[in-house]
Homo-oligomer: A and B are copies of this chain.
Amino acid sequence: MSTVHSGAARPAIHAIGGQFSSLTPLLAPRSIAVIGASSDPTRIGGRPIAYMKNQGFKGALYPVNPTRPEIQGLKAYASIADLPEPPDVAIVAVPANIAVQAVSDLAKLGVKGVVMFTAGFAEVDEAGERAQSAMIAEARQSGMRILGPNCLGVFDSRLGYYATFSSSFDSGWPVPGRIGIASQSGAYGTHLYTLARNRGIGASLCVMTGNEADVTVGECIGWLAENPEVDVIAVYAEGIREAPGLIAALTAAKASKKPIVMQKVGRSELGGKAAKSHTASIAGDDAVTEAVMAEFGVFRARNSEEMLDIAHTATRKIYPVRNTLGVITVSGGAGVLISDVAEGLGLDMPEMPQDAQDKLRALIPFCAPRNPVDATAQVTNDITLVNTFTESMVRDGGYASVLGFFSMTASSKRWPAIREQLNPVMKAHPDRLYVLSVITPQAGRDELEADGWVVHEDPTRAVVAIDAMGRYGAAFAAPPPAAPPSVPQIALPAATPTEAEAKRLLAEAGIASAPEAACDSAETAVAAAEGFGFPVVMKILSPDILHKSEIGGVLLDIADAASVREGFALLLERAKTAAPHARIEGVLVAKQLKGGVECILGIHRDPVFGPMAMFGLGGIFVEILKDVVFRRCPFGVDVAEQMIRSIKGAPLLLGARGRQPADVKALAAMLARLSVFAHQAGPALQSIDLNPVFAMPEGQGAFAADAVIEIGG
């Protein structure tokens, strides 16, 4: 019987007392109990023990099994009560009917973490959900954290810690490295690290959160952000269930300049359905998650390959604040392709300085020295020109990122000589990002990676990864956002207010509407209209009719007094027909604004992230093109203006093609104030629609022409 390694040195992570340190016993334990330990190394309760023995976990390992004194050569304990000490973590690998009691026993013993493989809880039915809730409630009382249930667990190859029953180690062990993976899906988490391993990409640590009854993927991100052994965080998410942990995690990662790359699925309606049946939880709205990612500079990867490309590139820790790309190639065709991709991403490829171009052309008359720099096959005649050209690009061109396209040359006999010419450039200028697009077997790739190159076989993928580094750089360097404007605290009514009342509330918050008057007779309406000047808009005024245009309750382009009288009668008639029991308070007469750009400003309360502000251009832009942007409330005018400028239709507001620019400042102020209003309003506020808002020409303000505030329960 072998000895367990007790009292080994604590990993560095144990010294960290960060805000996510409650996860440390769970994710980096010094001692481990396995409840339901099996002698069979292929069974769920046997695998973790077999893996940790094989990989040399340096800590105590306590199998718990009521019938066997020894498990896989280790002394076993008959029950939790028999354990010689409370372990940092307990792996629970017994069926659900026993597992609940085990968790209770572990909590009483003072165990700080449980990795719970056991399935049969919230993912199955309501009874399972109730059992899960009760179990978590008890665990929380004792301060114990639970990963899962129904999870594939966690491993950290550098600790030899394998609290997982994944069979993926059949085909090999993880490559040690500074990428940490957090995944809501067990199968996809192991898929990812297997891909990484097969590419020789170092990802030591992978945590898979399963049902997330307690520990969420957000908290795991936060713990990785605080872990000094992790530089880059890769995340696979299906739906965010809890906001504070995630927000704190993203804040911590950004503060410590650790890039996060995230694959978020459940984007589609179809995906949303599948997510629901899979995760036993409602996936957060995709647009909302996207907005939160954008807020913190998280890169959203389109697929697993892109995620690993970016995570791997990021381990070089070069994040240019202003990224520029210089390309050295021996193929004009690849240069064109690379330029296309860079242009599509908005990655700048400035030309080489003219004098540097002239010098290069003096060396190879038919070269293309602009950028991409095509040195042509001529360099094979004088191999030192590879150095001359590349050095000139870095020194004279000053590019933050350099991409060399050498394709299958890297498999040729000339390659060692070329490599010798390239490497000194990298050593002379270590502050740049160096990427090679080459075709070479894994061994050749490993050599180049050891030199300091990032190797991507495909040039398109190389450019995407390079561009991502600049996006991280810009996000890390961004000044802290301005404070949200101060807006008076406004008491919301108990029920959804009328349009006039809604506008009055918004006016208190400094959000202007078009001049208007609530009129209870045709004659007061005429007087109001004449006061504003024609044309005017007329709308039915009723607390019971929320969507006025659906019942024909809005009249536009009313041009004279006679039409106001006609309109007044018509609106009352339509309201009576469409909603016979609605309380009718009269008609709202408003000045019809001309010459502005129609926008929509809105608030939507997300069940996870709370009030989210939306901005878009009005009409077809929102309805058909979905050209909108979201942001968590509250925020300041700087963020509001970034939002406005980020939509595709922004040129309409900014004065494209001879148009008069709209009052973007006023619009941004309105949006920021709306975000504060929504934030202060509390959970009773369900939604706000300001649609349309007219952004008038520069200096003339922005005015809501309609307002709906929905109070809910």
Interface residues of A (CB under 8 A from B): 123-124, 167-168, 170-171, 183-188, 190-191, 194-195, 198, 236, 238, 263, 265-271, 273-275, 277-279, 302-305, 330-337, 339-344, 349, 366, 368, 370, 372, 374, 407-409, 411-414, 439, 457-461, 620, 623-625, 648-649, 651-652, 656-657
The 4 closest A-B pairs by CB, nearest first: A185-B333, A187-B331, A278-B332, A268-B343
Find chain B residues with CB under 8 A from A275 CB: 336
Copies held by the complex: 2
Q: What's the Cα separation between A469 and B280 when bound, in Å? A: 34
**25 residue pairs bridging A and B, Cβ less than 8 Å apart:** A167-B409, A167-B414, A168-B412, A170-B412, A171-B439, A185-B334, A188-B407, A194-B408, A198-B439, A267-B340, A268-B339, A268-B340, A268-B343, A268-B344, A270-B339, A270-B349, A274-B368, A275-B336, A277-B374, A278-B332, A278-B335, A303-B461, A304-B460, A623-B656, A624-B648
A270 engages B407 (CB within 8 Å): no
Q: Is there contact, CB below 8 Å, between B340 and A265?
A: yes
Q: How far is the CA of A273 from the CA of B330 in the complex (A)?
A: 17
| B-chain residues with CB within 8 Å of residue A167 when the two chains form the complex | 408-409, 412, 414
**A304, B459: Cα distance in complex, Å:** 9
**In the complex, which of the residues B183, B195, B271, B334 contacts A336, with contact meaning CB atoms closer than 8 Å?**
B271
Contact, CB under 8 Å: A649 / B623: no
B266→A170 contact, CB < 8 A = no
Distance, CA A336 to CA B333, complexed state (A): 37
Least CB separation from A458: chain B residue:
B305
Residues in B with CB closer than 8 Å to A342 are: 268, 270
- Contact among B266, B343, B368, B374 with A269 in the assembled complex (CB-CB below 8 Å): B343
Please indicate the chain B residues that have their CB under 8 angstroms from the CB of A339 in the complex: 268, 270-271, 273-274
Q: Is the CB of A333 within 8 A of B460?
A: no
Inside 8 A of A236's CB, which chain B residues have their CB? 333
Find out whether the CB atom of B651 lies under 8 angstroms from the CB atom of A270: no
Q: Which chain B residues border A190 with CB–CB below 8 Å? A: 407-408
Q: Which B residue's beta carbon lies closest to that of A267?
A: B340
Q: Is the CB of A238 within 8 A of B271?
A: no
In the complex, what residues of B have CB within 8 A of residue A649's CB?
620, 624-625
Pick the residue among B188, B331, B344, B625 that contacts A267 (CB under 8 A).
B344
- Docked CA distance A103–B273 (Å): 66
In the bound complex, what is the Cα–Cα distance between A340 and B465 (angstroms)? 22
**Is there contact, CB below 8 Å, between B340 and A278?**
no
Chain B CB within 10 A, most for which of A273, A275, A408, A656: A408
- Kindly list chain B residues whose C-beta atoms are within 8 Å of the C-beta of A657: 623
Whether A277 lies near B333 (C-beta < 8 A) is no
Bound: A333/B151 CA distance, A:
12
Smallest Cβ-Cβ distance to A650: which chain B residue? B624
When chains A and B are docked, how far (Å) is the Cα of A171 from the Cα of B415? 12
Given contacts A194-B439, A412-B170, A656-B623, is CB(A266)–CB(B336) below 8 Å?
A: yes
| A341 (CB) vs chain B CBs: closest residue | B303
Contact A334 B625 (CB under 8 A): no
